[in-house]
Amino acid sequence: MLKAVAIIPARFQSTRFPGKPLASLKGKIVIQHVYEQAVSAKLVDAVFVATDDRRIFDAVISFGGKAVMTSGSHASGTDRIAEAAETIECDYIVNVQGDEPFIRPGMIDDVIGLLYNDEQVSITTLAKKITDIQELMSPHVVKVVMNNDGFAMYFSRAPIPFDRDEWQIESRVKSQESSDRGKSCFELLTLNSKLLTLNWYKHIGVYGFRKNTLRAFTSLEQSRLERIEKLEQLRALEAGMRIKVKITEHDTFGIDTIEDLRKAEEWQNISL
């Protein structure tokens, strides 16, 4: 039986970028870059692409990779890898996003290592210190707060934790001409220059699971906080599952649009 496997969910019908797993990046298709990075991880015994599209399946097989066909009805990549994992004898599964060609093998090893080192840990992931104010304020960058033992307390698209003393909030109420329209509020946020000397962390979306935890997680209904923030890891927290977070110095670059692909061609942080 395999100890740890990496499973890469990949679908063709992306809303913003159909066919992106097969898009060319620096001379190879995107899914091949991700696969080769995962194969290079020292603690990974095997790598599989989980897909519902025969074109992706055939492309993976053609470059020498392993692929598993899955249902086309899955709501998320986590559901897709859970189906694939049922056909693979293993203890640990790492969910490596199929649009992350710049994921480093060591980052994958990090999430597996957390599972190896603590039997009480069921889900693992990574975070990186935020050094850019735009990232901190962007709702597209997910932030995470950890406790003293490195377990996630909350994930949010908002800038958490909110520093009441260092951030100056000015609230104003704008009156409406018509009484039936009521009043609306808006806030102006001024960021203190000390902001980035403090500790805020962005979530890096690679996950390690024990196989039984992955099965249990995907059997749960969407949670209230998950629906609000559109973050499925909140489902695990609301269900009482503990997520251990390791701090990494490395960043990734996800490809969601054609414009992202263009930027990826120019990205010099990692040479593919």
CATH number of the domain to which 50 belongs: 3.90.550.10
Helix (H, G, I), strand (E, B) or coil at 228: helix
> Residue 14: which pLDDT band, with cuts at 50, 70 and 90?
confident
Question: Does residue 235 sit within a domain?
Answer: no
- 117 pLDDT above the threshold of 90: no
Which residue from 71, 88, 89 is spatially nearest to 80, judged by alpha carbons?
71
Percentage of the chain exceeding pLDDT 90: 65
Residue 187: what pLDDT?
A: 46
Higher pLDDT, 77 or 15: 77
**Would the pLDDT of 134 be above 60?**
yes
Report strand pairing: 243-247 vs 123-129.
parallel
**For the chain, give me the number of helices (H) and strands (E)?**
9, 13
Question: Is 254 contained in some domain?
Answer: yes
Residue 186 confidence (pLDDT): 42
Q: Over the stretch 198-239, which tens digit does the pLDDT of each residue have?
A: 689 999 999 999 999 999 999 999 999 999 999 999 999 999
pLDDT at 196: 58
Q: Average model confidence (pLDDT) for the chain?
A: 87
The C-alpha atoms of residue 244 and residue 179 are separated, in whole angstroms, by 51
Look up the pTM and report it. 0.87
> Does the residue 50 lie in any domain?
yes
Look at residue 178 and tell me if it is in a domain.
Answer: no
Furthest-apart CA atoms within the chain: distance in Å: 71
Per-residue pLDDT for 185 more than 90?
no
List b or e across 111-130, with b for residues whose CB sees 16 or more CB atoms inside 10 angstroms: bbbbbbeeeebbbbbbbbeb
Is 186 part of a structural domain of the chain? no
Query: Taking 50 as the threshold, does the pLDDT of residue 184 lie above it?
Result: no
Residue 47 belongs to what domain range? 2-126+204-224+241-266
> Taking a C-beta distance cutoff of 8 angstroms, is the pair 265, 109 a contact?
no
Number of structural domains, the chain? 1
pLDDT band of 74, cuts 50, 70, 90: confident
Residue 190 resides in a domain: no
Q: What is the pLDDT of residues 81-105, one digit of tens each?
A: 999 999 999 999 999 999 999 999 9
Which pLDDT belongs to residue 175?
Answer: 46
Residue 161 domain-assigned (yes or no): no
CB 206 within 8 Å of CB 107: yes
Burial of 154 (0-12, 13-18, 19+ CB in 10 A): middle
pLDDT, tens digit, for every residue of 20-68? 999 999 899 999 999 999 999 999 999 999 999 999 999 999 999 999 9
Q: Tell me 114's DSSP state.
A: H
Does the CA dihedral 232-238-243-248 come out positive or negative?
positive
Residue 51 lies in a domain: yes
